[in-house]
Structure 1
Amino acid sequence: MNESLVSKYKDIVTSRGLTYHYLSLPAVGDKPTLLFVHGFPSISYDWYHQINYFSERGFGVVAPDMLGYGGTSKPTDVSLFLHTAVAQDLLDILDAEKVQKAVAVGHDWGAPIISVLSMKHSDRFLGFAWVVVAYQIYSPVPPIDVILEMQTKTYGRPLMGYWKFFGQESASAIIEKNLESLISVLYPDDPDNWLTLMNQPGEIQAFIENGKTTKRASYLTDEHHSRLLESLKQSGLTSALNWYQCMLKGVNSRIMEEMSEEDQFIRKPAFFAVARKDHVCVYDYAVPLMKKYATGGLKMVEFQGGHWVHLEEPEMFNRELEGWIGNTLQQSC
């Protein structure tokens, strides 16, 4: 990220008393503002390719450190990670910046949050962009072993074996002793490493407990790696892992009860960047889901890499996202 942008960060106490640290850059002329929502285990810096690209072209940017990360509050109370409440936190930020309508872009755990924004606050947005992780339809979450068994029957392998580790109370302490192990797993040079380390139960825990590392992806630059590592050292993982705990403990299981049938569909234009080699957020699940629910129009772009397409192929990602935004705004006029 351009170092001159560091001074553009602000802090806000949201309506529920939580502090958010966020980057805010005003739009120029009639350009829209983009709300970038990151996931695990990132910080707002994760969007630096997009922040530089779009701000240089006059787009407004709002990029918060999400709950549990960076300069934002790090609560240990899992109930505070209720996705509808987190979505309201983001609206509080947009209100503070006097942004009436934005384009929301979410990756990883950011994707469910923009799903909630689509369901409950569609009128505040021009469109929604899901990065790798598809639109989230909420329902009671069965025990993780049941989920893994269902995935094995459907896809020939479990997909979320790592959730068994991330859901343990001891996971944060284990990871904090071996942060480089976690980073090398999540940002691997070979995305096929996820077929074992992420998909298969027990694999990531054994890997991290033993302090192992695999070759780090080249797209995770030394600068980015340094910022990520320092953030994780300062923040720890206890709060951040509540993004998993809040699902496993049913915090979000009743969200759909608040939605009408109409609200369950994406009524605004949707963009979906799907990754062929994301072995957790798999193509065969994500694409039919997006096609079913994106009734307001869908632009889908395929990437050949893994989970971090906005880092791995930023030029293509930025170009496609900008083109979709332009077409979306033209159609809405």
Structure 2
Amino acid sequence: MDERYYKQVKTQRGFTYSYYFSPPAAGKPFLLFSHGFPSASYLWLKQVAFFQPLGYGLVIPDNLGYGGTDKPTDPKLYLASGLVQDMTDILDAENIDKIIAIGHDWGAILLSRILNHQPQRISAAAFCAVGYCPSTVPLRDLFASEVFAYQRFFIHPDGAPLMEKNIDAMINVLWGERPELVKETMCINGATRACIESNRRTPLPPWMTEEDAEMIRTSLLTGGLTAPLCWYRSVNEETIINEDAAVPPAACEIHVPMLFVAFKKDYIARPEFWTETHKTYPKGPLTLKEIESDHWGVMSHPKELNEILLEWVEGLGM
């Protein structure tokens, strides 16, 4: 990502956010891209290379805990309403009223919360890999599935220091040579800890360059993993659970156009997890697409994903 396009803003909560910003050409809308764990704004590098030359405005934050953004280590500060306010503060700083938002992983969950708390700021919403997660469905219940066994290690007090110590083993666990490997390394209780404690090294996936791996490595070691892992720890915070439970069911309905791009070989955020949710909550136009990738299709299959996003965005007529 070209550092010349990065800006900073201090939000009402007192956090300094770093974000990539490119203004739109005449008649083009703004796109907000929101990343998840353990990425920063660089996750969307190939989307920037595609959409920026087409004249689309871009707002791509380093979410709280990542990149050039502040890194608080109290999980209570990752309260949905606070994170949503941070996002709206960024939009306000750029005088953006409404935006087309695209989210991946935890970025898709953050997009869900913006739709629940500040829906007037979103003109259309696209979810990649992780589908819409309404506040009425507790994340703690969703993550109880054994496919999320790795999260028990993520939230353990020694999880962050172990991953920092053996960062290459951690990268190998998250980005395995084959999509199926996560079934062995992340979806069995104790497996993720065993891989990282033993500093197990395996080949990177064929699409990942050493430059990609170094970008991930540098980003995570520069800021550490304690803050990013607060997104997982926040799931068990009673304050956050109670806030989600207080959101009225009507506020969880989606009345703007929505796109879900399923990543068919994602064996953790499995496409079928979102089937019932997507039957229930979207009340406006719903577009369903899929690509043959694992969880990291944003990086591994940019051509397919970019074409899907562009067709959908152009079809919105905004």
Same fold (TM over 0.5): yes
- Identify the match of residue 155 of structure 2 among 167, 184, 202: 167
- Identify the match of residue 111 of structure 1 among 98, 105, 108: 108
Q: Distance in 1 between matches of 2:260 and 2:239?
A: 26
Query: Structure 1 pair 250/312, CA: closer, same or farther in 2 (3 Å)?
Result: farther
1:192 aligned counterpart, secondary structure: helix
Q: Percent identity?
A: 33
Q: Distance in 1 between matches of 2:91 and 2:233?
A: 27
- Identify the match of residue 47 of structure 1 among 44, 48, 56: 44
- Identify the match of residue 82 of structure 2 among 77, 81, 85: 85
Partner of 1:58: 55
Query: Structure 1 pair 141/222, CA: closer, same or farther in 2 (3 Å)?
Result: closer
Partner of 1:217: 205
Partner of 1:100: 97
Q: Is the 8 A contact 2:140 2:235 kept in 1?
A: no
Q: CA deviation at 1:11?
A: 0.9
Q: Distance in 2 between matches of 1:98 and 1:225?
A: 35
Partner of 1:208: 196
Correspondence list, 1:111-130, <5 A: 111-130=108-127
Partner of 2:185: 197
- Identify the match of residue 243 of structure 1 among 228, 231, 249: 231
Q: Is the 8 A contact 1:12 1:93 kept in 2?
A: yes
Cα distance per residue 1:146-172 (max 9 Å; x no partner): x64xx3xxxxxx211101101101111
Q: Distance in 1 between matches of 2:119 and 2:26?
A: 23
Q: Is the 8 A contact 2:116 2:134 kept in 1?
A: no
1:253 aligned counterpart, secondary structure: helix
Does 2:72 match 1:75? yes
Cα distance per residue 1:277-306 (max 9 Å; x no partner): 111111221233223212111111111210
Q: Distance in 1 between matches of 2:243 and 2:286?
A: 24
Q: Distance in 2 between matches of 1:33 and 1:255?
A: 29
Structure 2: 5+ residue runs without aligned partners? none
Q: Distance in 2 between matches of 1:215 and 1:250?
A: 40
2:241 aligned counterpart, secondary structure: coil
Query: Structure 1 pair 13/254, CA: closer, same or farther in 2 (3 Å)?
Result: same
Please tell me the residue identity of whatever aligns with 1:164: R
Does 2:106 match 1:136? no
Q: Is the 8 A contact 1:291 1:298 kept in 2?
A: no
Partner of 1:318: 306
Please tell me the residue identity of whatever aligns with 1:186: L
Structure 2 length-normalised TM? 0.95
1:217 aligned counterpart, secondary structure: coil
Query: Structure 1 pair 257/248, CA: closer, same or farther in 2 (3 Å)?
Result: closer
Q: CA deviation at 1:141?
A: 5.6
Q: Is the 8 A contact 1:83 1:112 kept in 2?
A: no
Cα distance per residue 1:64-89 (max 9 Å; x no partner): 11111111101011111112211110
Please tell me the residue identity of whatever aligns with 1:41: P
Structure 1: 5+ residue runs without aligned partners? 152-157
Structure 1 length-normalised TM? 0.91
- Runs of 4+ in structure 1 over 6 Å off: none
2:317 aligned counterpart, secondary structure: helix
Q: CA deviation at 1:252?
A: 2.4
* Number of equivalent positions: 317
Q: Is the 8 A contact 1:141 1:250 kept in 2?
A: no
Query: Structure 1 pair 208/294, CA: closer, same or farther in 2 (3 Å)?
Result: same
